[in-house]
Chain A
Amino acid sequence: MQPTSSPASGSYAPAATSRRQVFRVRGLTKIYGEGTAQVRALDGVDLDLYEGELVVLLGPSGSGKTTLLNQLGGLDIPTAGELAYRDSDLTHATEAQLTNYRRNSVGFIFQFYNLIPSLTARENVGLITEIARDPMPPEEALAMVNLTPRMDHFPAQLSGGEQQRVAIARAIAKRPEVLLCDEPTGALDVRTGIVVLEALERANRELGTLTILITHNAVMAEMADRVIHFSDGRVLSEHRNATRAAPSTLRW
C-alpha cells in the first residue's frame, strides 16, 4: 500500500493564539455511580482547544481519557463544570441539540472501528453523509484514506487497518470541525497503525480539522502539535512540540 505523502516537519506549526478557540473546558467533572461505588472519572479538567490543532491526549488506562472524549463529543453529559463548544454550552444542551451537534460537527473514530457489518465501505460512509449538512462524496473520503479499490467490500472482507481507514473516511466525510479518535491504533500492529495515523494526519492537515487523538502510547506524542498528559481524571501537564514528526518516522 502506498503511504500518503508525509509533510515536511514543522510545516504546520500552530500559533494557537492566532486561531479561534473550539473548546473551552473549565473544572469539568464526571462522576459515575453513587455512594461507595462512586468513581470520579473526570476531576476538574481545564482545557482549551483550537482550530486545526492535532492534539495527543496521553495517559494510562483508566485515567479518564475516554470519558473526556465522550463529554467533548456530546455522547454524555458532565456532572459539573463548564464545557463550551464555540458559542454553545454543551453542559446544558438538550438531547436534540446534542444529536444535532454530533451530526454536523463531530467525527468519531473508535478503537474497534465499529463499522456497520451489513454495509460496504462506501455505504458505511454514505450512511453518514446522507444525514450531514455539507458532506463530501463518500468516494472522495475513501480516496483520502487510499481505499478506492476496496470501496465495495464489506467490513468482514477488510483487514483491521482497512476497516479503521473506512472509519476515518466515515468520520471526515461530513467535514466535521472536530475529529475525536479514541485509541485508533490500539487494535493494530505497528505498520498498519502508521498507515492509519498517516490518514488521520493528512485529514487534519488538508481539512484543517481540530483532531484529538487519545493514546496510552507515548511515541505518538511526537506527531502532535500539542501533547496533554492525563492522569486520574486530571490534566497533569501539557507541552507543545516544536515540530510535528511524520507518522512514518514513528516506531513502537
Chain B
Amino acid sequence: MLPHLDRKLIRDLRRLKGQAAAVSLVMACGLAMLIMARSLISSLDGTRAEYYQTNHFAEIFASLRRAPNHLQEQLRAIPGVATVQTDLSSPVTLDLPGLGEPAGGMVRSLPDFGEPELNRLFLRRGRWLSPGARGEVLVGEAFALANQLNPGDSLTMLLHGRRQQFRIAGIVLSPEYIFESRPGAALPDNRTYGIFWMPYKEAATAFDLYGAFNHVAITLAPGANEQPVLKELDRLLLPYGGFGAFARKDHPSHIRVSDEIRVLSILSIGFPTVFLSVAAFMTNAVLTRLLSLQREQIAILKAFGFTNRQIVVHYLKFAFVMVVAGLVLGLCGGLFLGLKLVKMYELFFRFPDLQFTFDRPAVIVALGVGLAAVTVGVFGAVRRAAKLPPAEAMRPEPPASFRPAFVERAGFAHLFTHSFRIAIRNLERRPVQALFTVIGLSLATALLILPNTFKAGIASVLDFQWDVVQRQDINVGLIEPSSARTANEIAQLPGVISLEPARNAAVRIHFNGRNRQIGLRSLIPGGIHSRAVDKEGREIMPPPDGIILSAKLADVLGAKVGDQVTVESLEGKRRTVTVTLAGLAEDFTGIAAYMDLHTINRFLGEGDVITGASITLDLAKRAEFLEALKGIPRISYAVIKESLRKSFRDTTAQSMGLLQTIYLTFAVIVSFGVIYNNARISLAERSRELATLRVVGMTQREVGAVLVIELTILALIAVPAGLVLGTGFSTVIIHAVNTETVRLPLVFTPYTYSYAVIVVVIASTISALFVLRQLNKLDLIAALKAPE
C-alpha cells in the first residue's frame, strides 16, 4: 500500500499540475537539447571514427606538382611512417547536358589493380571499376544525387582540354570527402562540383603524369609523432612542387565534421545550462510557495513525530517527480529531434551509414543535471522547512505590516486608484517575491533573443558575402594559372558587362612561430566585385607592400595591424616575402588573406597571370554566355551566385531553419512556462487577500486590476533587463561557437528584440487572462476560510 505521505504527495501534485507541468516542460526542453546534442555528437563522432578505421583514412596528406613514383621509397623511409599511398588528383571540367553552367571537380586515381591501401572507397550503388577496362568512372554520391546520375549513365569530361566520354560504373563515398565541396568554398554546391575516380593508368595518361604522382597520403606508425614527419615530408617534396603537408586535423572535410561536433558540444552545454537554471528557478518558486502554504502541515507532521529527514524527503519528492517527468519528456523530445537532425546531417555529410546512436550516458547526465538543478533550486526552501520549529509553525503567519508605498510617501498618492495603490504597496512589501518574478520574466525574455540572433547572423553572413564582398554574378575559375589574355577572351563573350581578373595562390602565412595554410585572394584597385571590407563596412585595399587578413586569421596568428608577416608561396618558384599587415577584414567564411593582384604576381614571379575572373553579366544573356564559356578550354568551373543562393535556400537554409525553429520553439515554451507559473503563484499567494477585497466591496474589475497592474510593473522592469541579459548570453554563445571555418557575426536587429518582447507580452496576456478567469471563479468563502 502506498504510504500516506506519498498519497498526500500525489494529491498535492494533482493540484499543482499546471505549475508542475510548466516546470517539467522547461526542464524537458533543456534535457531534450542535451540528449539530442550529445546523441548527435556520438553519432557523428562514432560513425566517423568507424568509417575512418574501416576505410583506412590517412593521417597525413600532401599535394605536389609532380614527383616520380620511385620517390615513394624515400617517403616510406621517413621515420614514423607506416603506410604511404600515392595517387593523382587533378581538376576536371564537365559538360553536363541540362546544366547551364560549366561544372567542375576533381579526378582522383585508383590503383589499376586491387584496392588502395589508404582512403578506401565505399560502394553505394553499381559496381567497382572492372580491372583493365577503359572509359569507366566512379562518382561521388553528393554530385551524383544532385545531378541525378546513376550507374550506367554516361558522363562527358574535359581532361586536360580533351573531351572524353565515360560510363559511370558505381556511386561511391570516400572518407576524404565526407564533406564534398569545392576547396575553399564556404557552402557546398554539389550540382557544379564533384569527385570522380578512375584507374591510375587512365588518369595518368589523360593528365600527362604517367609514372608520377601528385598527391600522397600517409599513416603513422603507432606512437609516432606527426610534426617531424610533416617537416621531413615537406623537405622531400619541396623539389617536386609540394604545396605543404598537413595532418588530419587540418583536412578540410575532417574540419567540417569536427566543427559541427564542436558547435554541438557548445550547444549541448549552453542551452541546457540556461534552460535548467530557469527550471531550477521555477521549482524554487513553486516549492517555496508550497512550503509556505503548508507551514501548518509541516508543523503537524513534526508535532506527531515525523523526522526532519522524512519531511525533507517528502518535499524533495515533489521536485523529483517534476524532474522525472521532465526527463521522460526530454528523452522522447531528444530522440525525436535527434532522428530528425540526423536526416539533416545526411544532407551535409556523406557517410556510408550515419546511424543515430542514442547516447545513453547523456541520459544519466541529464537525470543528474536535472536533479542537481532542482535540488539546488529547492534546497534552501526545504531546509527552511526542516528547520521550522514545530511550535513556531503552529502560530499563523503574523499579519503583514503595510505602510504607504514610496510613491505615496512622495506625495503622489492622489494620482492613483485604489487598485494601483494596493498593487504597489504589495510589491514594496514583498520585494523578494517581486524580484523573483522579475528574474523569471527576464530569463524568459533573454532566452528568446538567442535563436533569432543565430538567424540574423546567418542572414547577415549571406548578404554580406553576396551583396557586399562578392558582388559579381559569376565567378569563373581556370584549371591552372594562365596568361592574362584569357581574361580578354572571356570578356569578349556575349553578355559580359564587366570583368575583373583574379589571381589566387596557395600560401602559408607565418607570424611569430605560428602559421596557417590558406588560399591568398587578389584584389584590384577600384574593383567592384571582390572587395575586402572592415568592421565598419568600409572598403579597404591592401597597399602595394601590404596584406589584409581576416580578423579571425590575425587573431589565430596573434598579429596586429602594422606587424610584419611572412608569406610563403606553396606554388611555382616558392618564394617568400615579408609584408606589412595593413588592415583587418571582416570575413565570415573564416580565415582569409588579400593582396593586390599585381603585388601577388610580382611576388610569385610568374609574370602577368590569372587563375580566374569575376563577371557582371547581362542576365538576359546568361544562357548564351554559359554556352560560349564551355568553348574556352582552360575553364574549370563557373559559380553563378544566383544558383548558389537558390541551392543554399533549398537545402542548407531549410535545415538550419529547422534547427532554429527547434530552439525558438523551446524558448517560447520556456517563456510561457515561466510567466504562467509566476501568474499562478501570485494568484495562489494572494487569493485570500484578493477575496477579502472582493468581500469588502471591490468589483471584479478593480481586483483584477490589482494583479494586472502588478504584473505590468514587473514586466516593465523585467523585459528591458531580459533584453540586456539575452544580448550578453547570445554574445557568449556565438563567440564560443565561432571557429576558423565558420564565423557568425553578432547581429542584433530590432526584429530580434521585438520578437522577444511580443512573445513575452502575449504570454503575459494569456497568463493574465487565465488568472483573471480563476479570480472571477474564486470561491470567496472558501478562500477566506482556509489558507488553502
Contacts and interface: CB of A to CB of B under 8 A. Distances in A.
B304 interface: yes
Interface string A101-124: 111101010101011111100010
A33 to B, nearest CB: 13
Given A102-B304, A104-B305, A114-B299, A119 B7 contact: yes
Contact of B296 (A95, A104, A114): A114
A99 B299 CA distance: 12
18 contacts: A73-B303, A75-B394, A95-B308, A99-B305, A102-B305, A103-B304, A103-B306, A110-B394, A114-B300, A114-B394, A116-B8, A118-B12, A119-B4, A127-B8, A127-B304, A128-B304, A131-B310, A156-B782
Contacts, number: 77
Please list the 10 inter-chain residue pairs (A to B) with the smallest Cβ-Cβ separation, ordered nearest first: A103-B305, A118-B11, A127-B4, A75-B391, A70-B391, A102-B305, A76-B391, A75-B390, A114-B300, A108-B303
Interface residues of A, number: 31
B15 interface: yes
Contacts of A170: 304
Interface string A41-67: 000000000000000000000000000
B742 to A, nearest CB: 54
A117 B389 contact: no
Contact of B8 (A75, A96, A99, A118): A118
A126 interface: yes
Contacts of A118: 7-8, 11-12, 15
Interface string B621-637: 00000000000000000
Interface residues of B, number: 27
Interface in A186-236: none
Given A123-B7, A127-B5, A156-B786, A75 B300 contact: no
A106 B304 CA distance: 8
B776 interface: no
Contacts of B786: 117, 156
B305 A130 contact: no
A102 B394 CA distance: 15
A118 B296 CA distance: 13
Given A118-B15, A131-B306, A76 B299 contact: no
B612 to A, nearest CB: 77
Nearest to A132: B305
B3 interface: yes
Given A99-B302, A108-B304, 13 more contacts: A75-B394, A76-B389, A99-B305, A99-B307, A101-B305, A102-B303, A103-B306, A116-B297, A119-B8, A128-B304, A130-B4, A131-B310, A156-B782
Contacts of A126: 4
A128 B391 CA distance: 18
B788 interface: yes
B303 A131 contact: no
A75 B389 contact: yes
B307 to A, nearest CB: 5
Nearest to A119: B8
Contacts of A116: 8, 297, 300
Nearest to A180: B303
B4 A123 contact: yes
Interface centre among B15, B296, B302, B304 (most CB of A within 10 A): B304
A99 B394 CA distance: 16
A100 interface: yes
A115 B300 CA distance: 8
Contacts of B307: 96, 99
Contacts of B308: 95, 99
Interface in B289-320: 296-297, 299-300, 302-308, 310
A160 B457 CA distance: 65
B303 A75 contact: yes
A128 B304 CA distance: 7
Interface string B770-788: 0000000000001000101
Contacts of A104: 305
Interface in B1-26: 3-5, 7-8, 11-12, 15
Contacts of B782: 156
Interface in B441-482: none
Nearest to B390: A75
A118 B293 CA distance: 13
Interface string B79-121: 0000000000000000000000000000000000000000000
